[in-house]
Each structure stands twice: as structure tokens, then as C-alpha cells.
Structure 1
Amino acid sequence: MSNLGRIFTAIAGFSGFLSVALGAFGAHGLQAHLAALQMTEVYHTAVQYHMAHTLALLGVALLMERMKPPRYLALAGWLFIVGIVLFSGSLYVLAISGIRVLGAITPFGGLCFLAGWLCLAVAALVRS
């Protein structure tokens, strides 16, 4: 496996662990707090997108061994990572803190997710 493939796999492993841990913490440790702030759905959305894009990152890491050139795959991987941090991260903090201005960051994470998926499609089309 390439070095970048290993890095993406390691980040996906850590991210998947974190997604499950944060999901469990939200469901058990933060339930009353999130309900009081009416942020349960926001937190759930953060966990859902976090895990979905963790799996996408793992898929990118695996595809890097099969597809050449990996340039667009690498870009897709990095965009998924930034998207997780911006989209899910901002929603986690928003849900826990109630600071609504953080919602302004969330769309940038969503744009990273969209660009990552587009790069994945382009990687399949520019194979040599």
C-alpha cells in the first residue's frame, strides 16, 4: 500500500472510532443536554455524515492501489477529511455549545464533501 493510502487508512480508522465514540456519547452522555438545547438532530446529522465520509475515505485509500493516476483520489481523500472536520466538527460543537454562529462553517464542509465526490468520479474517468 502506498504511503498516502496508509495515511488515509489510518485516518479512516481513527475517524471511524471517533464517530462511533461520539455517537455513543451523544446517545448516552449528552442526551439530556442535547434535548434541552433542541440539538439532538443536529448532533445525529454530524455523526451520520462523519461515519459516511469515513467509509468514503477508506474506499479512497483502497482505490489508490488499483487506480492510476491517484492525483484525483488523493484530492478526494483530503477533501473528505476537511469536510469531516468542517461539517461534522462544526455541528458537534454547535449541538453541544448552542453557539449558532458555528453553523456558518458547516456549508464549507458540505462543499468539501461535494468536491470530494466529484474528484472521485473524475478519478474514474481519467484513468490511463
Structure 2
Amino acid sequence: MASLFWTLGSLYGASSVMLGAFGAHGLKSRIADPSRIASWNTAAHYQLIHSTTLLLATYAAPQNRLAMGLFTAGMTMFSGSIYLLVLNPEKFKALGPVTPLGGLCLIGGWVALAVGRRGAVPRL
């Protein structure tokens, strides 16, 4: 199971760099609203942070599938909904409530990491 999360973390990390580059270079010619560009950058930033965290969790806490699942779901819902809302706010307006749910999953992933170790510090 940890190898699945390793693969997902790697793919989410690679896609966050690609999406961040698109936001910095390609999106500005399509979207004039600076707040939408900032939202895109926030999504890419959070995706990169949590893909790295997912990779570290597969090594430091491979038994903690709850944390890894929450990070994966959180990145998908939080960053994914923001990307779609930035690209087409009217078409994807129903996804607005998904963003905070994704954020809660990301927070839950951190809490699951903290609770799952029960005081043991992983050796990296």
C-alpha cells in the first residue's frame, strides 16, 4: 500500500510543478483577475507541500494509511477544486464547498500522523 502512496505522491509532486509553471507563465495570458492567479498559485503550493509530505509519510509512517489517504484526498479536493474554479468559475461553481473539505482532509492527515506515531520518532 505504501508503494501506491509513493507513486501518488510522486505524481502529485510532478503535476504540482507543471501546474505551478502553467500558472506562472500560461495562465496569465488567459485570466486577467490577479485573485484567481493567486488562488491557482495557492493550490499548486499546497499540492507541492502535501505531495512531499505524502512521500515522507510512506517512509516514516508506512503503516499510517489513514494519514496518507487523507493527504491524497485532501490534495485532490483542495487543489483540484481550486484549479477547476480558477479555469471556469461558472461551470464549476458547485465545487466551491469541496475546497474546505479538502482542507479539512489535509489537516486530518497531519493529525493522523501525530496521533499515529504515539510518541515514537521515526528515523529518517
Q: TM-score range by the shorter chain?
A: 0.7 to 0.9
The structure whose residues are more often helix, as a share, is 1
Choose from 73, 79, 85 the match for 2:70: 79
Q: Distance in 2 between matches of 1:81 and 1:60?
A: 11
Choose from 60, 63, 66 the match for 1:63: 60
TM-score for both structures, normalised by structure 1:
0.84
Q: Which secondary structure does the structure 1 equivalent of 2:111 belong to? A: helix
2:10 aligns with 13
Choose from 87, 105, 121 the match for 2:114: 121
Report how many residues are paired.
118
Q: Structure 1: which 5+ runs fail to align?
A: none
1:53 aligns with 50
1:107 aligns with 100
What percent identity do the matched residue pairs reach? 37
- Residue 77 of structure 1 and its aligned partner are, at CA, apart by 0.2
Q: Distance in 2 between matches of 1:89 and 1:64?
A: 25
Render the CA deviation track for 1:33-72: whole Å, top value 9, x for unaligned: 232474011101100110111011001101135xxxx2xx
Q: Structure 2: which 5+ runs fail to align?
A: none
Q: Distance in 1 between matches of 2:32 and 2:94?
A: 19
Please, what is the CA RMSD of the aligned residues?
1.7
